């Protein structure tokens, strides 16, 4: 990864995937999609070893509607467009916030997690809001570890569904916590009627 100061970014882009799969790809590696501002900053940087940031589109973290996300870089650093989050395929390049101040987060050594849940949102909106704040959705193992922990200040992890970074299909994602720490189900990633609580994680 290249160090751009307040964030780090992959020097090489990954294979084309949907925005939803790009979120999962970055999350699985303890990273997240870059914000629009980060991507543009990195694209204009020199001497950082960044490769092929222009010439094709790459996903960024921001949504432009309930079902579409922004992409950058087709012809130059200012090129921008948008596409449906569950179809098509564009390159993925992940970012990481190395100096995130973990206010309101519990530290589990290998990960941090919000102690309180955030607002009801669709899965794509939850993923985007976590990434824009420098965090990411929690992995399934992270969520269940935190749910079972004591003395960490975790609040209301059961009693309502919370999104996790795990897909059930190309258009549905997993959720945890409706009854207890083992409760598991799935809902649409974009359907507003399938909005659930948001809790973000971060890799220290």
| Closest to 119 in 3D by CA, of 150, 154, 156, 153 | 156
- H or E element that contains 27: helix 19-28
| pLDDT for residue 30 | 97
In the chain, the number of structural domains is: 2
Task: Say yes or no: 113 and 40 in one domain.
Answer: no
* Residue ranges in the chain whose pLDDT is less than 70: none
Task: Say yes or no: 48 and 13 in one domain.
Answer: yes
Q: Within its chain, how far is the Cα of 68 from the centroid?
A: 15
Task: Say yes or no: 7 and 78 in one domain.
Answer: yes
CATH of the domain at 34: 3.10.100.10
Q: How far apart are CA 200 and CA 198, in angstroms?
A: 7
> Where does a domain end: 96, 130, 145?
96
Q: How far apart are CA 22 and CA 99, in angstroms?
A: 23
Task: Say yes or no: 152 and 193 in one domain.
Answer: yes
| pLDDT for residue 9 | 98
Task: Say yes or no: 34 and 77 in one domain.
Answer: yes
Q: How far apart are CA 7 and CA 95, in angstroms?
A: 7
Q: How far apart are CA 200 and CA 204, in angstroms?
A: 13
Task: Say yes or no: 53 and 87 in one domain.
Answer: yes
Against a cut of 0.85, is the pTM above it?
Answer: yes
| pLDDT for residue 160 | 97
Task: Say yes or no: 46 and 111 in one domain.
Answer: no
> Between the CA of residue 164 and those of 11, 25, 95, 142, what are the distances in Å?
27, 14, 19, 9
141-180 burial code (b ≥16 CB/10 A, e <16): ebbbbbbeeeeeebeebbeebbbbbbbeeebbbbbbbeee
Say how many Å lie between the first and final Cα of the chain, rounded. 16
Task: Say yes or no: 62 and 119 in one domain.
Answer: no
pLDDT one-digit tens code per residue, 76-100: 999 999 999 999 899 999 999 999 9
Domain that includes residue 151, residue range: 105-202
Task: Say yes or no: 192 and 121 in one domain.
Answer: yes
State the angle between helix axes of 123-132 and 19-28 in degrees (0 to 180), rounded to the nearest 10. 50
> Where does a domain end: 96, 115, 143?
96
| pLDDT for residue 87 | 94
- The 8-class DSSP code of residue 194 comes to G
> Where does a domain end: 96, 118, 152?
96
| Closest to 7 in 3D by CA, of 21, 18, 36, 19 | 36
């Amino acid at each position: 990864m290249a160090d751009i100061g307040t964030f780090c970014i992959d020097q090489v882009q990954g294979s084309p995937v949907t925005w939803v799969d790009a979120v999962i790809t970055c999350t699985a590696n303890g990273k997240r999609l870059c914000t629009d501002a980060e991507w543009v900053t990195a694209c204009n940087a020199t001497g950082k070893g960044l490769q092929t940031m222009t010439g094709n589109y790459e996903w960024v973290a921001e949504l432009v509607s309930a079902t579409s996300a922004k992409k950058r870089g087709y012809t130059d650093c200012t090129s921008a467009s948008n596409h449906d989050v569950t179809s098509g395929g564009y390159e993925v390049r992940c970012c990481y916030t190395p100096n995130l101040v973990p206010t309101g987060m519990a530290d589990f050594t290998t990960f941090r997690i919000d102690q309180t849940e955030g607002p009801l949102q669709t899965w794509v909106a939850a993923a985007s809001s976590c990434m824009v704040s420098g965090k990411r959705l929690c992995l399934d193992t992270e969520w269940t570890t935190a749910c079972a922990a004591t003395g960490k200040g975790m609040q209301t992890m059961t009693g309502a569904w919370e999104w996790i970074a795990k897909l059930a299909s190309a258009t549905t994602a997993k959720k945890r916590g409706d009854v207890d720490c083992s409760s598991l189900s799935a809902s649409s990633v974009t359907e507003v009627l399938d909005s659930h609580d948001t809790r973000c994680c971060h890799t220290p």
